[in-house]
Structure 1
Amino acid sequence: MPQVIRPALPADAAAIGQIRVAAWQAAYTPFMPADYLAVLNPAANIESLRLKLENLSPHFYLALIEEAQEVAGFYLLGTPRFECPSHSAELWALNIAPHAWRKGIGKRLVMDAIASARRFSYQNIVLWCIAGNLGARQLYEQCGFRVNGQQKTDSQLTGHPLHEVCYALTLHF
């Protein structure tokens, strides 16, 4: 089945919300409280997302992959949320629908995010990954990312400590 990667449109906001919630509930069970995951709402912030999708830019760029004309995953690339080298982008999110896992979609999306960052003239990409999420870590390492030594533990999102490591990739033109 052909897979197509394209910039997200405002009409894609609901599908993006559905994938985010399904991916988090399937992947983050070992790392986040069950009660937090159970109440995630796919419709949360949909209107705000639709507005952002009307004005994609190097500071907020969301691309998705379609398989059989259905959204199967997405990535979000943008201005770093945390301190990092100048001219850096952050891969804020990479979410794939659980039914589409292990089909190479994650790698295709990460490689497209790298190409987009180059196109936007960024020199580096950083991302934060849950330390225990070995599948995601392996994917990022296969795509050339390396742990840069930064770590953080934060409980603001879930009310439960979430341990993350930072990965970085220097872009060569």
Structure 2
Amino acid sequence: MTEDDIDAVSEVRVRGWQYAYRGLVPREYLEEMSPAENAQRRRGHFGASRGIVHNVVAEDDTAGGGVVGWAAVGPYRTSDAVPRPGAPGEDEELYALYVRPEHIGTGVGRLLLASVLDGAAARGCPRMFLWVLAGNSRARRFYERAGFAADGRTDTFEVGGAQVPDVRYVRVLTGE
């Protein structure tokens, strides 16, 4: 991912939230999400996290091309704090993986996930963690098919005034 991809990534993220989290987070929150506002925040994060967070995009070279998916991975966060540079061999976390709704089921998500897992393994990462909404059965099946398993840890976070439950997943990468 480059800075030139930020607008497209923000569009993918917002449309991904609006599609995947319908019925799981307040409708009003989803309707008010703005790709332009997300891009503005992302520009700040992108520069500050360079070398810490690994952002990967998937592009479709057919029908005009463009970014159709995005994933971000970095050091495992033990809190909501901004991640610090991780040392080689430390656990990592998949912070985000979103695909344009019309590309769900086409293999784009699998390619993005394979790319971030390969990168993490090359960095010597022993385990990859991720958090997924408890009610997001499609995403949970996707990660389970990719070798991730819920490890029993749960949490909640606030979105648009509602408490939303999250489930942590883990996949062991070393020794694969």
Structure 1 and Structure 2 fold alike (TM over 0.5): yes
1:59-83 CA-partner distances (Å, limit 9, x unpaired) = 2111010012311001010122226
1:19-41 CA-partner distances (Å, limit 9, x unpaired) = 11111111101100011001101
Match of 1:64 in 2: 57
> Could you tell me whether the CA contact under 8 Å between 1:33 and 1:160 is conserved in 2?
yes
Q: Check if 1:130 corresponds to 2:133.
A: yes
> Could you tell me whether the CA contact under 8 Å between 2:151 and 2:168 is conserved in 1?
yes
Match of 1:24 in 2: 17
Residues in 1 aligned to 2:77 and 2:32: alpha-carbon distance in whole angstroms:
25
| 2:17 alignment partner AA | W
Match of 1:159 in 2: 161
RMSD: 1.8
> Could you tell me whether the CA contact under 8 Å between 1:24 and 1:37 is conserved in 2?
yes
How far did 1:52 drift?
4.7
Matched pairs, number: 162
Segments of 5+ residues of structure 2 without an aligned counterpart are 80-88
Match of 1:169 in 2: 171
Q: Give the counterpart of 2:108 among 101, 105, 126.
A: 105
| 1:44 alignment partner AA | E
Percent identity, please.
28
Match of 1:96 in 2: 99
How far did 1:48 drift?
4.7
How far did 1:87 drift?
1.2
SS in 1 for 2:115: helix
| 2:23 alignment partner AA | P
Q: Measured at CA, do residues 123 and 98 of structure 1 come closer, stay the same or move farther in structure 2, by a change above 3 Å?
A: same
> Could you tell me whether the CA contact under 8 Å between 2:125 and 2:174 is conserved in 1?
no
Match of 1:142 in 2: 145
